[in-house]
A and B are shown apart, each in its own frame.
Chain A
Amino acid sequence: MTTYVIKGVRPYGEDAVDLVITDGVITELAPVGTGKGEVIDADGLIALPGFVDLHTHLREPGREDAETIESGSQAAALGGYTCVHAMANTDPVADTAGVVEQVWRIGREVGLVDVRPVGAVTVNLDGTHLAEIGAMANSAAKVTVFSDDGKCVHDALLMRRSLEYVKAFGGVVAQHAQEPRLTENAQMNESALSGKLGMVGWPAVAEEAIIARDVLLAEHVDSRLHACHVSTAGSVEVIRWAKSRGINVTAEVTPHHLILTEDLVETYNPVYKVNPPLRTQKDVLALRQALADGTIDALATDHAPHPHEHKDCEWGAAAMGMLGLQTAFSVVMETMVEPGLLDWRGVAERMSVQPARIGGVESQGQPIKVGSIANIVVIDPKATWTVVPEALASKSSNTPYAERTFPGTVVHTFYAGRPTVIGGVLA
């Protein structure tokens, strides 16, 4: 049994303590200099509950050339995460107990973060046949989040049935809101810019119409809905209205939708191609406000690794998606903390507490207090760093932030009481 002392750290940016961890649990918040054990220096740094990602593409099984559960877990730990939800659009799709148990088991073997598999809503993401949700819920992986992410459960009846069906298992349907007919061959946000560039547009209404339909369905069948990667100001309004009506809906926003806008498409550099697409500055500001006021409950990375050749090509041929795990905190720091939209307790809520609650992961998102499981991230808000794509732990390098300098670094990460990252490198 090892005892770790995170020395001089400030939980939630408040008074400095020696944070003592014994046997995976926070056992003491002692005056600075009094903690006994293996000392990890964190003088003046800030401790938050380890981050929880509701939306991660680990690509295994099937596309191990882009990412593996191991490389994705490393990227997660380095980004301050102690839990990720592995999306179901793998090959084979995570639509059976067998696949979700495999992902869960490999995640345990890697042992850097909790890897919580997300189960597909429909067989092979085909949008027509309900997958064996019960089998996945009752498997060793204990799946609670179900999503066809990458595709929308667009059939209204099937969406209704899935919302009803998951109630038996305390589950939630995480919807990728994209009306398929309105987004055929869509390449970017539909706007004056898409008209100018001659690209097929992905209109905001294609997201908003599905979210509006789904909150009403969730209300009708009294179930839980989660809206993935909300990207428009209009979606925020719909969710705000639904919450005010008492509908059981939660929502997430990605880091890139908090900081990047559609103008970047003018470079035709596919590193900026993502789904849902980058929107306008008006949307960005509405999303930041919504994350601040809780209309959007959680930050979720939508970490989407792609091999080099899928981005080193013309725009139309390129894959959609960007890396997010190792840059998420810094984006939140720049867009939410520095402008005063979120304080440290707010960051903990949006990046840990709420995603853990939505994902039903009791061991995660626990407060920094004696008795809590020691999933902890220690960050340095004063440090800056410059993103070097090849230096990221991910097997892919499709980050939109190459050469960009960000505020805020992840210094140490503790997963279930064990250091996974010390001094910014894997422990």
Chain B
Amino acid sequence: MRHLLSAGDLDRDKALLILDTAAEMAALSDRSVKKLPTLRGRTVVNLFFEDSTRTRISFELAAKRLSADVINFAAKGSSVSKGESLKDTALTLEAMGADAVVIRHWDSGAPYRLAHADWIGGSVVNAGDGTHEHPTQALLDAYTMRRHLRDGKGALEGVRVGIVGDILHSRVARSNVLLLQTLGAQVTLVAPPTLLPIGIDTWPCEVSYDIESVLPNVDAVMMLRVQQERMQAAYFPTAREYSRLYGLNGDRMRLLPEHAIVLHPGPMNRGMEISAEVADSDRAVMVEQVANGVSVRMAVLYLLLGGAKE
């Protein structure tokens, strides 16, 4: 494995290897010295064209715990905002000897382009591209579900997952559908028809417009962030109506089976897609998702860079 661009690139064995490696990395964080020397002397660049403090610091911490040198290259305030192209930025990073580039970009496919256009020689990790994919998010979600629902072992055969919200614009949903399918889970997407892409019937999952009919039959429900500005483009009439029809509140949470967990990739809009009661409940695993994110990203960097060169 040289790059991680799409959750769809991972077969079952590779996905399980990442999850198992992440479990080993997680054990490390219980120690007082949380650092491994594995990537000493290697350079990881966080190339973020979009602001995402959470994802950026998660990758940064992951790389640092593996003793890599980390450079944060934010597009804002840099040469990129002065019109420098992705290509020239990539060539610059290449000249500086980046072993891995973790890229967040507003364009779907930008990481793929970076990996395949012959601009750089290092590994590329997709940290979210446009409305396309966010594979490490799907991995940390799978890791979290596996811990709660499968005792931290094996795949996710038979696990039923509901993903609720703006599927159309969600890279989290795309990566999750692909990875969960690979791991044997059954996915149901829930959204108003305006927030489902054309061709959704070809995806390996079920689709519903009715959250209340789905909740009693899932082991995990993932609430996606809904951006208020979607209202302007007539995807839904008001935030209140969205919340009434598709939000997860306390009453709806009680429709879930006893063991079911609630996930959210963050940042949450409390009162919009998720009520404070749900966000603060025992079923909510958002804080754990953040911790698992570091372990999963350590595993990805370790597997991409650890074995690549001598």
Are A191 and B198 neighbours in the complex by a CB distance under 8 Å? yes
Q: Mark B93-117, 1 if CB is under 8 A from A, else 0.
A: 0000000000001111110111011
Are A192 and B85 neighbours in the complex by a CB distance under 8 Å? no
A203 within 8 Å of B (CB atoms): yes
A195-B85 CB under 8 A given contacts A268-B109, A315-B107: no
B171 within 8 Å of A (CB atoms): yes
A195-B197 CB under 8 A given contacts A314-B86, A316-B130, A317-B86: yes
Chain A residues in 8 Å Cβ range of B171: 198
Q: Mark A178-212, 1 if CB is under 8 A from B, else 0.
A: 00000000010011111111111101000000000
A198-B198 CB under 8 A given contacts A309-B85, A313-B86, A313-B87: no
Are B86 and A192 neighbours in the complex by a CB distance under 8 Å? no
The residue from B105, B113, B132, B168 contacting A197, defined by CB atoms under 8 A apart: B132
For the complex, what is the distance from the CA of A268 to the CA of B129, rounded to whole Å? 12
Are A317 and B199 neighbours in the complex by a CB distance under 8 Å? no
Give the size of the chain B interface in residues (CB under 8 angstroms). 28
Chain B residues in 8 Å Cβ range of A200: 131
Chain A CB within 10 Å, residue with most, of B87, B130, B203:
B130
A293 within 8 Å of B (CB atoms): no
Chain A residues in 8 Å Cβ range of B199: 191-196
B140-197 interface (Cβ within 8 A of A): 168, 171, 174, 197
B245 CB, min distance to chain A CBs, angstroms? 22
A349 CB, min distance to chain B CBs, angstroms? 37
Chain B residues in 8 Å Cβ range of A14: none
B213 within 8 Å of A (CB atoms): no
For the complex, what is the distance from the CA of A267 to the CA of B85, rounded to whole Å? 19
A229 CB, min distance to chain B CBs, angstroms? 22
B133 within 8 Å of A (CB atoms): yes
For the complex, what is the distance from the CA of A301 to the CA of B61, rounded to whole Å? 53
For the complex, what is the distance from the CA of A314 to the CA of B90, rounded to whole Å? 12
A135 CB, min distance to chain B CBs, angstroms? 38
B13 CB, min distance to chain A CBs, angstroms? 23
B1 within 8 Å of A (CB atoms): no
Are A316 and B197 neighbours in the complex by a CB distance under 8 Å? no
Are A198 and B113 neighbours in the complex by a CB distance under 8 Å? no
B202 within 8 Å of A (CB atoms): yes
A197-B109 CB under 8 A given contacts A192-B199, A192-B202, A316-B130: yes
A198-B174 CB under 8 A given contacts A191-B199, A313-B85: yes
Are A194 and B197 neighbours in the complex by a CB distance under 8 Å? yes
Q: Mark B236-272, 1 if CB is under 8 A from A, else 0.
A: 0000000000000000000000000000000000000
Are B133 and A198 neighbours in the complex by a CB distance under 8 Å? yes
Are B87 and A312 neighbours in the complex by a CB distance under 8 Å? yes
For the complex, what is the distance from the CA of A190 to the CA of B197, rounded to whole Å? 9
A192-B107 CB under 8 A given contacts A198-B133, A309-B85, A312-B87: no
Are A268 and B113 neighbours in the complex by a CB distance under 8 Å? yes
A86 CB, min distance to chain B CBs, angstroms? 30
Are B108 and A198 neighbours in the complex by a CB distance under 8 Å? yes
Are B174 and A314 neighbours in the complex by a CB distance under 8 Å? no
Nearest neighbor of B49 in chain A, beta-carbon distance? A314
Are A201 and B130 neighbours in the complex by a CB distance under 8 Å? no
B36 within 8 Å of A (CB atoms): no
Chain B residues in 8 Å Cβ range of A187: 108
Are A315 and B113 neighbours in the complex by a CB distance under 8 Å? yes
Are B198 and A203 neighbours in the complex by a CB distance under 8 Å? yes
A294-318 interface (Cβ within 8 A of B): 309, 312-317
Are B198 and A195 neighbours in the complex by a CB distance under 8 Å? yes
A196 CB, min distance to chain B CBs, angstroms? 7
For the complex, what is the distance from the CA of A313 to the CA of B110, rounded to whole Å? 9
Chain B residues in 8 Å Cβ range of A196: 174, 199, 203
B200 within 8 Å of A (CB atoms): yes
Chain B residues in 8 Å Cβ range of A313: 85-87, 113
Chain B residues in 8 Å Cβ range of A203: 198
Chain B residues in 8 Å Cβ range of A309: 85
Are A314 and B109 neighbours in the complex by a CB distance under 8 Å? yes
Q: Mark A268-279, 1 if CB is under 8 A from B, else 0.
A: 110000000000
B9 CB, min distance to chain A CBs, angstroms? 13
Nearest neighbor of A198 in chain B, beta-carbon distance? B132
Are A317 and B85 neighbours in the complex by a CB distance under 8 Å? yes
For the complex, what is the distance from the CA of A309 to the CA of B117, rounded to whole Å? 13
For the complex, what is the distance from the CA of A9 to the CA of B168, rounded to whole Å? 58
Nearest neighbor of A309 in chain B, beta-carbon distance? B85
Are B107 and A316 neighbours in the complex by a CB distance under 8 Å? yes
For the complex, what is the distance from the CA of A303 to the CA of B85, rounded to whole Å? 25
Are A195 and B200 neighbours in the complex by a CB distance under 8 Å? yes
B125 CB, min distance to chain A CBs, angstroms? 16
Are B131 and A198 neighbours in the complex by a CB distance under 8 Å? yes
21 pairs, CB–CB < 8 Å, chain A vs chain B = A187-B108, A192-B198, A192-B202, A193-B199, A194-B197, A194-B198, A196-B203, A198-B129, A198-B131, A198-B133, A198-B174, A199-B109, A268-B112, A268-B113, A312-B87, A312-B117, A314-B107, A315-B108, A315-B109, A316-B109, A316-B130
Q: Which 6 A-B pairs have CB atoms at the shortest separation, nearest pair first?
A: A192-B199, A195-B197, A198-B132, A316-B107, A268-B109, A198-B131
Knowing that A192-B198, A195-B198 are A-B contacts, what are 5 other residue pairs whose CB atoms are under 8 Å apart, sorted by A's residue number?
Answer: A194-B197, A195-B199, A312-B87, A314-B113, A315-B110
